[in-house]
Amino acid sequence: GDSVTQMEGPVTLSEEAFLTINCTYTATGYPSLFWYVQYPGEGLQLLLKATKADDKGSNKGFEATYRKETTSFHLEKGSVQVSDSAVYFCAFLSGSRLTFGEGTQLTVNP
């Protein structure tokens, strides 16, 4: 069935380190792909999105490229900050339903 598999957390990095969070999906067709971020005690914020193969979504220094051949949408950032500490969710949209990965907790230490 439809599913999203994310890199297991938690992930702990030092400030200015490079970040990669892996995400692969199993879905029918070519759905729109998303990364959402959740800060403690808050709802989900849209971080970036891509709607077709080879699209690159980007926002606040984060990037992810829609790879149809590997059904992946890995999240990257070149230099993380303490303020990036949060839980990151990969998701795809099928019809009107978002299917989420289990989330990856990121902690960035100064």
Partner 1 sequence: KAGVTQTPRYLIKTRGQQVTLSCSPISGHRSVSWYQQTPGQGLQFLFEYFSETQRNKGNFPGRFSGRQFSNSRSEMNVSTLELGDSALYLCASSLGGRGATLADTQYFGPGTRLTVL
* Interacting residue ranges for partner 1, rule: CB under 8 A: 30-32, 34, 36, 42-46, 49, 51, 89, 91, 93, 95-103
Distance CA 45, CA 88 (A): 10
CB of 110 to partner 1, least distance (A): 27
Distance CA 91, CA 35 (A): 6
Query: Which of 2/16 has CB closer to partner 1?
Result: 2
Query: Which of 49/77 has CB closer to partner 1?
Result: 49
Query: Which of 71/99 has CB closer to partner 1?
Result: 99
Q: And the tokens for 33?
A: 């792909």
Q: What is the dihedral of CA 57, 109, 18, 103, to 10 degrees?
A: -50
CB of 39 to partner 1, least distance (A): 10
CB of 15 to partner 1, least distance (A): 28
Query: Which of 11/13 has CB closer to partner 1?
Result: 11
Q: And the tokens for 79?
A: 């230099």
CB of 51 to partner 1, least distance (A): 6
- In order, the DSSP letters of 25-60 are EE-SS--EEEEEEE-TT--EEEEEEE-STT-EEEET
